[in-house]
């Protein structure tokens, strides 16, 4: 039989039961905490024995300042550090249970995912999604790469969205150019080509950077600067839903917009340098072949166009895709249609196609407004 013991904040006192080959789950029946000036702490713990081949567990109470821990026969971890630690313990329990249900172990998952499970940073649903994705040969290959892994675990339709942007982009952007330029479309083919090339190069990054993620990054070095620590704590999408046990402040969500804006400025500028450079090369080739074309065409300004496109990507594209991925898709469409993947994919296709077309229209207006592209008579 287990012995009920009282714990007083004086020298530690420990009792153990005789070995009757009984053990059972231990649960508290009465817990009372008295905190007068003497800081007296009393706790009653009862064990109900059942037959087992294992020795009976013992109850040990250690004295202290009122924060001592109760450990069963196998010992245990100390108290948590607030709500975050409680959520972390819950996440870890869910993840270990998910592994057990699937007959897998921590050794069967990548190191970064195993570390996140051990730290309680991801719930059991993410572990289950990983093994669901692993059933596909394509996803299993992509899960080897950290960036794809973080995005696929947050959104199993991420690859579909990449295909939508890159596959449909060339058609929607050409249609938008035709809509804006109308009868001048053929006269401004050099502008059209530059715009389409820039857009296709940037499309992938427009899906990649603002996509919600499950963070599996290792902790920063202690010597990291304040700015690095701040951006490390920012989400990849300013509007993404935080996992259990994590939270983002308003300033961190603003930081996500700023960080992605800086990256998209670099991507947009680089893509424009490539696109405009190719366009100018083709114009020069055509001038050499067709002498009548020399008076109709002019080189596209490389530097001003590249910087302008970088600014456009950092502001317009950044905000539109942050809202699209974090609000429209993750917070509205996915909760409503998470059981209907085909319908969800179709609606995402329609929404992203419309967003791409809108972006092309806005770029033409913006380029004409700042003077880097002029209407030809």
Q: What is the DSSP letter of 150?
A: H
Q: What is the DSSP letter of 71?
A: B
For the ranges 153-167, 180-194, 355-369, which has the lowest average pLDDT?
Answer: 180-194
For 45, phi and psi rounded to 5 degrees? -130, 130
Residue 232, SS3 per DSSP: helix
Query: For residue 258, which of 241, 242, 235, 240 has the smallest C-alpha distance?
Result: 235
Q: What are the angstrom distances between the C-alpha of 314 and each of 63, 113, 204, 205, 261?
A: 59, 31, 15, 12, 4
Beta-strand runs (E) in the chain? 13-14, 22-23, 26-33, 41-47, 50-51, 60-61
Question: What predicted TM-score, i.e. pTM, was given to this entire model?
Answer: 0.68
Q: How far is the C-alpha of 91 from the C-alpha of 226, rounded, in Å?
A: 29
User: In this model, does residue 166 exceed pLDDT 90?
Assistant: no
Q: What is the pLDDT of residues 2-47, one digit of tens each?
A: 444 444 343 444 444 444 443 444 444 344 443 444 443 434 343 3
Contact yes or no for 17/2 (Cβ under 8 A): yes
Contact yes or no for 169/199 (Cβ under 8 A): yes
Q: What is the pLDDT of residues 206-251, one digit of tens each?
A: 999 999 999 998 888 888 899 999 999 999 999 999 988 889 999 9
Rg (CA), the chain: 30
Q: How far is the C-alpha of 363 from the C-alpha of 312, rounded, in Å?
A: 7
Q: How far is the C-alpha of 187 from the C-alpha of 174, rounded, in Å?
A: 14
């Amino acid at each position: 039989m287990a012995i009920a013991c009282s714990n007083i904040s004086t020298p530690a006192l420990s009792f153990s039961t005789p070995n009757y080959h009984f053990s059972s789950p231990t649960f508290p029946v009465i817990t009372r905490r008295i905190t007068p000036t003497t800081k007296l702490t009393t706790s009653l713990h009862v064990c109900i024995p059942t037959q087992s081949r294992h020795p009976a567990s013992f109850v040990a109470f250690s004295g202290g300042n009122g924060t001592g821990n109760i450990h069963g026969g196998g010992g245990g971890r100390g108290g948590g550090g607030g709500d975050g630690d409680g959520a972390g313990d819950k996440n870890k329990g869910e993840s270990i249970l998910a592994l057990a249900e699937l007959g897998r172990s921590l050794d069967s998952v990548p190191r970064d995912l195993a570390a996140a499970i051990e730290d309680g940073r991801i719930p059991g649903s993410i572990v289950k999604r990983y093994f669901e994705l692993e059933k596909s040969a394509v996803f299993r290959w992509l899960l080897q790469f950290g960036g794809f892994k973080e995005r696929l675990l947050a959104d199993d339709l991420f690859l579909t969205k990449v295909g939508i942007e890159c596959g449909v982009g060339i058609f929607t952007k050409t249609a938008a150019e035709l809509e804006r330029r109308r009868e001048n479309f053929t006269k401004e083919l050099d502008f059209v080509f530059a715009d389409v090339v820039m857009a296709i190069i940037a499309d992938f990054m427009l899906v990649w950077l603002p996509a919600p993620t499950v963070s599996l990054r290792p902790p920063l070095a202690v010597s990291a600067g304040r700015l690095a620590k701040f951006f490390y704590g920012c989400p990849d999408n300013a509007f993404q839903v935080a996992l259990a046990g994590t939270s983002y402040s308003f300033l961190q969500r603003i930081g996500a917009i700023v960080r992605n804006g800086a990256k998209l400025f670099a991507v947009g500028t680089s893509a424009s340098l490539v696109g405009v450079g190719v366009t100018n090369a083709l114009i020069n080739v055509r001038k050499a072949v067709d002498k009548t074309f020399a008076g109709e065409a002019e080189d596209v300004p490389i530097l001003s166009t590249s910087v302008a496109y970088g600014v456009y990507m950092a502001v317009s594209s950044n905000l539109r895709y942050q809202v699209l991925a974090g609000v429209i898709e993750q917070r509205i469409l996915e909760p409503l249609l998470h059981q209907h993947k085909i319908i969800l994919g179709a609606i995402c296709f329609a929404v992203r196609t419309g967003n791409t077309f809108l972006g092309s229209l806005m770029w033409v207006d913006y380029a004409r407004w700042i003077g880097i592209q002029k209407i030809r008579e």
